């Protein structure tokens, strides 16, 4: 793969994200994708695609902006920002994310999103998030809850078939 092909793949992925088209996003991923972020931890293979499907389905007012910072034959860095409403309290969130992508076989094989979990928690939980958002126990608990939510979503998908 060359840098130009990788850039086109990044544009395809994030343009699909802007449209909440999880199917198109998943098509940009290698079958051996390894995705990680602070909320979910590491997801491998179909779990990563399922996560985007779940998030895109629930993101009713998502607005996404992205900028490709660098791209080469093997990897890329992207800054993206998500604006959305979260939870039953309808809190406004502006999450600033730095992504590192690696490529193989004309697909994204590694995708690591990094952002301040403390800032995200402060926006989504208010004062409680400010107090506990930076703690390691909070991150572990959030990852456990996120994975459970993903498993419930998977069960619903399997029941529809």
Q: What pLDDT shows up at residue 148?
A: 95
First to last CA, the chain: 36
Residue 160's pLDDT is what? 67
Cα 39 to the chain's mean position, in Å?
Answer: 9
**pLDDT at residue number 10:** 98
**pLDDT for residue 133 is more than 70:** yes
Each residue's pLDDT tens digit, 74-110: 999 999 999 999 888 889 999 999 999 999 999 999 9
Domain boundaries, the chain: 3-160
Q: What pLDDT shows up at residue 161?
A: 58
Banded model confidence at residue 1, pLDDT cuts 50, 70, 90: low
Q: Tell whether the model's pLDDT for residue 4 goes beyond 90.
A: yes
Give SS3 for 100. Answer: strand
pTM: 0.93
pLDDT > 70 fraction of the chain, expressed in percent and rounded: 98
Q: 48-83: per-residue pLDDT in tens?
A: 999 999 999 988 899 999 999 999 999 999 999 999
Those residues with Cβ within 8 angstroms of residue 114's Cβ, 6 or more apart along the chain or in another chain: 37, 38, 97, 98, 99, 100
CATH class of the structural domain 3-160: alpha beta
Cβ–Cβ < 8 Å for 150, 51: yes
């Amino acid at each position: 793969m060359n840098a130009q092909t990788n850039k086109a793949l990044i544009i395809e992925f994030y343009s699909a994200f802007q449209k909440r088209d999880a199917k198109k996003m998943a098509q940009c991923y290698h079958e051996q994708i390894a995705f990680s972020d602070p909320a979910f931890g590491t997801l491998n293979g179909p779990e990563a695609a399922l996560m985007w499907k779940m998030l895109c389905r629930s993101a009713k007012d998502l607005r996404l902006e992205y900028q490709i910072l660098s791209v080469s034959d093997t990897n890329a860095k992207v800054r993206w920002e998500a604006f959305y409403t979260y939870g039953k309290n309808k809190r406004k969130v502006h999450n600033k994310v730095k992504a590192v992508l690696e490529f193989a076989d004309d697909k994204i094989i590694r995708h690591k999103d990094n952002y301040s979990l403390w800032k995200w928690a402060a926006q989504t939980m208010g004062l409680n998030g400010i107090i506990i958002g930076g703690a390691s126990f909070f991150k572990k608990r959030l990852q456990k809850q996120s994975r459970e939510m993903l498993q419930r979503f998977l069960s619903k998908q399997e029941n529809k078939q």
